[in-house]
């Protein structure tokens, strides 16, 4: 394996990319260097030209190597392009894997460091009432890695034609009946939306849901790729090609078109899609590396995975849930609701128009039936409220859309029509 590293011109130590200063920094003498200045100083990576492509046999052979600083053996699979030596901590780059069609077009540098990632996990766990009592004390960070994940970036324009069926409802009453009038409408939306750099991860190892959930990425930080940004981090090349990734991009685009078209429809009581036709046309995708902190924490012999956007600091993951606390808080809140209902019922009983403390209002069976109904209602509210907390325990949820990557003001409607069809009236006895 052809291993390379950056050396400090002052002390000879291995230089790494520092996320806080966005410069190259020597951890031994604290000297900082601009990336271009360091390149011009004493480094010659000898990278292959863009038209030189390694064959698969050569790539498969590049799975082991020796650290040039301490001599330790370095292990990595055929997709590893940057690593950190486990013995001396020096950053190593497999420069051969960055040449030819494997070389990225862009990169977003790390902005958040390891300390920030660990503190983010602590903040994420704080205040979660369904979390096991000793999770924050007993769990420990089993593994934390700063990883550059390969992404395909898709530019596209989507043309959509969607037909909807919508209704408006009115009610009126007379002495005998309640009348419900339903008006039916046909709605058509035809238009186009442009998208820019929709990211789809190109790594088989990375969970797609997690990768979607840590979005959006800030493209103001997007830079042309340079190997110096990889120093001090792990990086991988893609193993899912652009053609396979295109399907996920198209699915997200279609969901965004449907969402944007639907948001233009207002004033109806119900709206249903009758037919939908969306055509997506895209250009050749770009290839980029984006920063991700991967945190793996262990609690009671079980691993829990968290991932953080290394630029924005957005962290997602799944926390363990103590099922006993669901029952505990469920009964507590159900009891509170029951007490509130009891007070309201007592107040209504004392203030009823037939007289103060009139005990002949309800029979014993009616009182029992009302009591059981109120108890079931209170349990439903109490446990429903506690059950809603579960969503905060798992934030690794894909948005399923690509709205964050819509080109500003690109939504253009060619046809925007709402047409009344007919009325229907039904009646029920009062």
Read off the pLDDT of residues 293-350 as tens digits, 9 standing for 90 and up.
998 887 777 888 899 999 999 999 988 888 888 899 888 988 888 888 778 776 766 6
| 412-417: average pLDDT | 96
pLDDT of residue 10: 65
For tokens 């895209």, what's the residue? 282
pLDDT band at 379 (very low <50, low <70, confident <90, very high): confident
Average pLDDT, the chain: 80
pLDDT at 50 > cutoff 60? no
- Report how far residue 284's alpha carbon sits from residue 265's, in angstroms, rounded to the nearest whole number: 34
pLDDT at 373 > cutoff 60? yes
pLDDT at 430 > cutoff 60? yes
pLDDT of residue 376: 87
pLDDT of residue 173: 87
pLDDT of residue 277: 95
SS3 405: helix
- The 10 Å Cβ neighbour count of residue 130 is 20
pLDDT band at 142 (very low <50, low <70, confident <90, very high): low
pLDDT at 48 > cutoff 50? no
pLDDT band at 205 (very low <50, low <70, confident <90, very high): confident
pLDDT of residue 320: 86
pLDDT band at 420 (very low <50, low <70, confident <90, very high): very high
Pair 393, 333: CB distance under 8 Å: no
List of residues 6+ apart from 15 with CB closer than 8 A: 6, 7, 8, 24, 25, 26, 33, 38, 91, 231
What stretches of 208-285 adopt beta strand conformation (E)? 223-224, 234-236, 270-282
- The 10 Å Cβ neighbour count of residue 34 is 12
Q: In the structure encoding, which two tokens stand for residue 422, read together?
A: 């007919």
pLDDT at 67 > cutoff 80? no
Of residues 21, 35, 406, the one with CA closest to residue 223: 35
Structure-derived torsion over alpha carbons of residues 149, 97, 405, 125, reported in degrees to the nearest 10: 10
Q: In the structure encoding, which two tokens stand for residue 13, read together?
A: 């130590």
The sign one gets for the Cα dihedral 96, 102, 107, 112 is negative
List of residues 6+ apart from 62 with CB closer than 8 A: 1, 2, 78, 94, 96, 97
- Report how far residue 18's alpha carbon sits from residue 25's, in angstroms, rounded to the nearest whole number: 6
**Percent above pLDDT 90 for the chain:** 36
SS3 73: strand
Task: Please write the tens of the pLDDT for every residue from 160-185.
Answer: 999 999 999 999 888 888 889 999 99
- Report how far residue 261's alpha carbon sits from residue 221's, in angstroms, rounded to the nearest whole number: 31
pLDDT of residue 72: 46
Decide: pTM greater than 0.85.
Answer: no
pLDDT of residue 249: 93
For strand 286-299 and strand 223-224, is the pairing parallel, antiparallel, or unpaired? Answer: unpaired
- The 10 Å Cβ neighbour count of residue 100 is 15
pLDDT of residue 187: 97
Task: Please write the tens of the pLDDT for every residue from 211-254.
Answer: 999 999 999 999 998 888 888 888 888 889 999 999 999 999 99
pLDDT of residue 161: 97
Q: Residue 371, class by beta-carbon neighbours within 10 Å (0-12 exposed, 13-18 middle, 19+ buried)?
A: middle
By residue count, the chain amounts to 430
pLDDT band at 352 (very low <50, low <70, confident <90, very high): low
Task: Please write the tens of the pLDDT for every residue from 68-121.
Answer: 655 544 545 566 665 566 444 555 556 566 665 578 899 999 999 988 988 888
What is the domain partition of the chain in residue ranges? Answer: 3-103, 116-319+396-429, 323-393
Of residues 112, 60, 68, the one with CA closest to residue 294: 112
pLDDT at 372 > cutoff 60? yes
Inter-CA distances, 63 with 2, 59, 236, 339, 402, Å:
10, 8, 12, 67, 36
For tokens 């003498």, what's the residue? 29
If one compares 65 and 296, the residue with the highest pLDDT of the two is 296
If one compares 24 and 295, the residue with the highest pLDDT of the two is 295
Q: In the structure encoding, which two tokens stand for residue 183, read together?
A: 């008006």
Q: Residue 401, class by beta-carbon neighbours within 10 Å (0-12 exposed, 13-18 middle, 19+ buried)?
A: buried
Pair 82, 195: CB distance under 8 Å: no
């Amino acid at each position: 394996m052809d291993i390379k590293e950056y050396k400090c011109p002052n002390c000879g130590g291995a230089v790494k990319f520092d996320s806080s200063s966005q410069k190259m920094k020597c951890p031994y003498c604290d000297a900082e260097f601009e990336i271009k200045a360091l390149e011009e100083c004493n480094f010659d990576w000898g990278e292959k030209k863009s038209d030189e492509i390694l064959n698969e046999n050569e790539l498969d052979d590049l799975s082991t190597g020796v650290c040039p600083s301490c001599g330790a053996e370095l292990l990595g699979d055929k997709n590893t392009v940057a690593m950190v030596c486990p013995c001396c901590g020096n950053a190593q780059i497999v420069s051969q894997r960055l040449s030819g069609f494997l070389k990225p077009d862009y990169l977003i540098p790390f902005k958040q460091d390891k300390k920030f990632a660990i503190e983010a996990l602590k903040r994420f766990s704080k205040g979660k009432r369904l979390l096991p009592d000793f999770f924050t004390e007993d769990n420990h960070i089993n593994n934390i890695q700063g990883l550059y994940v390969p992404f395909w970036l898709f530019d596209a324009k989507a043309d959509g034609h969607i037909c909807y069926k919508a209704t408006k409802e009115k009610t009126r009453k007379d002495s005998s009946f309640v009348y419900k009038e339903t008006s039916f409408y046909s709605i058509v939306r035809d238009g186009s939306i442009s998208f820019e750099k929709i990211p789809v991860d190109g790594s088989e190892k990375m969970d797609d849901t997690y990768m979607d959930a840590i979005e959006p990425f800030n493209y103001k930080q997007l830079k042309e790729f340079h190997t110096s940004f990889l120093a001090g981090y792990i990086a991988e090349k893609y193993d899912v090609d652009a053609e396979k990734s295109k399907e996920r991009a198209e699915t997200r685009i279609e969901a965004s078109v449907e969402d944007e078209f639907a948001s233009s429809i207002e004033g109806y009581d119900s709206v249903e899609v009758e037919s939908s036709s969306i055509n997506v046309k895209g250009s050749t995708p770009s290839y980029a590396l984006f920063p991700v902190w991967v945190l793996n924490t262990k609690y009671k012999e079980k691993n829990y995975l968290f991932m953080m956007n290394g630029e924005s600091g957005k962290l997602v993951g799944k926390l363990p849930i103590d099922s006993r606390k669901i029952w505990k808080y469920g009964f507590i809140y159900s009891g509170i609701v029951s007490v509130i209902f009891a007070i309201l019922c007592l107040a209504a009983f004392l203030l009823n128009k037939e007289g103060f403390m009139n005990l002949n209002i309800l029979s014993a069976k009616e009182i029992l039936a009302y009591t059981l109904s109120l108890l079931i209602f209170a349990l439903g509210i109490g446990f429903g409220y506690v059950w809603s907390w579960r969503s905060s325990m798992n934030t690794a949820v894909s948005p399923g859309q690509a709205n964050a990557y819509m080109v500003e003001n690109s939504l253009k409607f060619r046809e925007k029509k709402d047409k009344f069809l007919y009325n229907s009236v039904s009646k029920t006895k009062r």
